[in-house]
Amino acid sequence: MTASVPQLPLRDELFLLGHNDDTGQPHLHRQALALGMAGAVLIDLFLAGRITLDTTDDDARPAGQERLWLHLDRPVADLIADTAIASVRYANPAPSLRGWLTWFADDLYERTRAGLHAGGILRHTSRRRLGGLARADRYLATDTKWAVVARARLRYLAVGRDQPDNHTAALAGLVAVLGLTTHLYLDDDTSALTAQLRAIAAQHHPAVRDITAAVDAAVGDLATAAYR
pLDDT tens profile 115-148: 999 999 999 988 766 555 667 789 999 999 999 9
CATH of the domain at 109: 1.10.3630.10
Task: Give the DSSP letter of residue 146.
Answer: H
> From CA 69, how far away is CA 60, in angstroms rounded?
19
The reply to whether 190 falls in a domain is no
Q: Which own/partner contact pairs does 198-203 have at CB distance under 8 Å and 24+ positions apart? A: 198/172, 198/173, 200/157, 200/158, 200/164, 200/169, 200/172, 200/173, 201/169, 201/170, 201/172, 201/173, 201/174, 201/176, 202/173, 203/164, 203/169
Range of the domain at 45: 10-142+206-222
Residue 132 is predicted with a pLDDT of 59
State the Cα angle at 116 between 88 and 158, rounded to 5°: 85
The pTM is what? Answer: 0.91
The reply to whether 164 falls in a domain is no
The reply to whether 181 falls in a domain is no
Task: Give the DSSP letter of residue 182.
Answer: G
Q: Tens digit of pLDDT for each residue in 46-99?
A: 999 999 998 655 555 566 789 999 999 999 999 999 999 999 999 999 999 999
Total count of domains within the chain = 1
The strand pairing partners of 129, in sequence order, are: 134
Q: Indicate whether 1 pLDDT > 80.
A: no
